[in-house]
Amino acid sequence: MSTKPKAYLVGGGIGSLAAAAFMIRDGGMPGENISILEAMPVLGGSLDGAEVQPGSCRRFARPADGPCR
């Protein structure tokens, strides 16, 4: 059995992405030992966004006014 530490983070929101970054930077964990399990097709969680039409940003299924920022 491997003794190399591994991490499995549930959800690809900023919480998991930040945790992974700190584990790499401060914990010295190789990135390939970290798995982020995300149910959606894109990472970012509540901070994801797609410009579905010019000037109209959509986060998950929630429309937001204005372009994606």
59 binds ligand FAD (CB under 6 A): yes
67 binds ligand FAD (CB under 6 A): no
Q: How far is CA 19 from the centre of its chain?
A: 10
The single residue among 5, 15, 30, 67 that binds ligand FAD, judged by CB under 6 A, is 15
Return the residue matching tokens 């937001």: 64
Angle ∠(62,8,2) on CA atoms, nearest 5: 165
Q: Which stretch binds ligand FAD (CB under 6 A): 1-9, 22-30, 44-52?
A: 44-52
Q: Which residues pair with 59 in a beta bridge?
A: 62
20 binds ligand FAD (CB under 6 A): no
